[in-house]
Structures are given as C-alpha cells and as structure tokens.
C-alpha cells in the first residue's frame, strides 16, 4: 500500500469516527417548533407601504425632548453624528467621492426609519420605545432633514405618504418578467 493510500484510508477512518461521535452527541435543539406567541414580539416589520405600522402618533415637537433624552449621546446635537452615524444633512452629496449617507440624503422610505428605530433603538435598550415615542422620533429626524414641518403629525396614515428626497434614485433588485406566467 502506498503512502497516499495509507493517508487516504486514515482520513476516511477519521471522518467516519467524527461523524459517528457527532451523531451520538445531543444536538442544540434546532428545529424546535415556535409558537405564535413567541414570534409575535419579533414580528414587527414595517414595509415601505406602511403595512405593519402600529396605532399611535407623534410630531417633531414631541420628538425633540425624546431625542435629547434617548438619542443625543450617540447621534449628537440635532443628528449631527458622533460617535454614531450622522442622521441629518448630506443632501446632494451622494455622487461625490465623500458622500454623506443620512436619513435625509439616502434612505428611500420614511417607514424604514420607523422600523429601524422601533426594532433597534436606543442601542442600549432596543424595542423599549412605545409607538408614540417612535413616531415622535421619526417626525423629529424628518423635520431636522427639512422633509416635514415641525407640527406635522406622523402616524400609520401619514408616514407612508412622506416622500423621501432620494426615493426615486433606487432601483428594485426584482425585475418584473416581460411575459408573466399564466
């Protein structure tokens, strides 16, 4: 038997041994059924059309003190950034080498802002804000970017109607078929 054949045989035996040991070990319980009650707290996605937005409302006026209390430490005075992402400004810079991607210059849908804040902010306490607080913070950030007026009410009806400055500059990754199947 050549050296190559010996090494190949040893590798095959080692592989079989590892497979046998792995099969004998208890698993991490993958595939355990999840109840609808367990899914509900995480089933909070909001689409561009507003589907999934909860009841509630807020304005930039009510959002300003919330921003000071819950967002300022990471996003800076009036969304200027530091230490975390800048939220305001950047309009007209996306074609530049030093593009500034902010909510006001880059994001295509206002509902994405709601979804992100509700899901992930504040960083130290994700999903801790009420729907009214999220609407108010969204309104404040949109106001700082000059997209809505200070007293515009954001809610499940009005928020999806807000047209973001960069909305028309995105292209869908999904292409409609030229000849739909029947």
Q: What is the CATH number of the domain that holds 138?
A: 1.10.760.10
Q: Is residue 15 part of a domain?
A: no
Q: Is residue 139 part of a domain?
A: yes
Whole-number Å distance between alpha carbons of 153 and 62:
10
Q: Is residue 75 part of a domain?
A: yes
More confident residue, 75 or 16: 75
Rg (CA), the chain: 25
Q: Is residue 181 part of a domain?
A: no
**What local confidence, expressed as pLDDT, does residue 178 receive?**
67
**Chain segment 125-149, per-residue pLDDT in tens:** 999 999 999 999 999 999 999 999 9
What is the residue range of 152's domain? 42-168
Which conformational region is residue 59 in: left (phi greater than 0), alpha (psi within -120 to 50 degrees), or beta? beta
* Beta bridge pairs of residue 155: 57
Assess whether pLDDT exceeds 90 at residue 68: yes
Supply the DSSP string of 110-142, one letter for each residue.
HHHHHHHHHHH-STTSTT-S-HHHHHHHHHHHH
- Residue 176: pLDDT band with limits 50, 70, 90: low
**What local confidence, expressed as pLDDT, does residue 24 receive?**
59
Q: Is residue 61 part of a domain?
A: yes
Q: How many domains does the chain have?
A: 1
- Residue pair 155/148 in contact (Cβ under 8 Å)? The answer is no
CA distances in angstroms from 163 to 14, 116, 158, 159, listed in the order given: 61, 17, 10, 9
Tell me the percentage of the chain whose pLDDT exceeds 70.
87
Q: Is residue 33 part of a domain?
A: no
Q: Is residue 174 part of a domain?
A: no
Q: Is residue 50 part of a domain?
A: yes
State both tokens at 141. 């950030």
């Amino acid at each position: 038997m050549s050296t190559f054949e010996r090494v190949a045989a040893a590798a095959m035996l080692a592989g079989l041994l590892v497979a046998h040991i792995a099969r004998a070990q208890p698993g991490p319980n993958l595939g355990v059924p999840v109840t609808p009650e367990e899914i509900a707290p995480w089933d909070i996605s909001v689409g561009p059309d507003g589907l999934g937005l909860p009841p509630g409302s807020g304005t930039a006026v009510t959002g300003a003190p919330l921003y000071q209390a819950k967002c300022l430490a990471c996003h800076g005075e009036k969304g200027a950034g530091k230490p975390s992402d800048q939220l305001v400004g950047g309009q007209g810079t996306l074609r530049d080498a030093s593009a500034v991607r902010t909510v006001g210059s880059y994001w295509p849908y206002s509902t994405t802002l709601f979804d992100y804040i509700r899901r992930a902010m504040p960083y130290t306490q994700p999903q801790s804000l009420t729907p009214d607080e999220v609407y108010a913070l969204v309104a404040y950030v949109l106001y700082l970017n000059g997209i809505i007026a200070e007293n515009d009410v954001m809610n499940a009806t009005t928020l999806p109607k807000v047209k973001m400055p960069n909305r028309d500059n995105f292209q869908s990754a999904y292409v409609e078929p030229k000849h739909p199947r029947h």
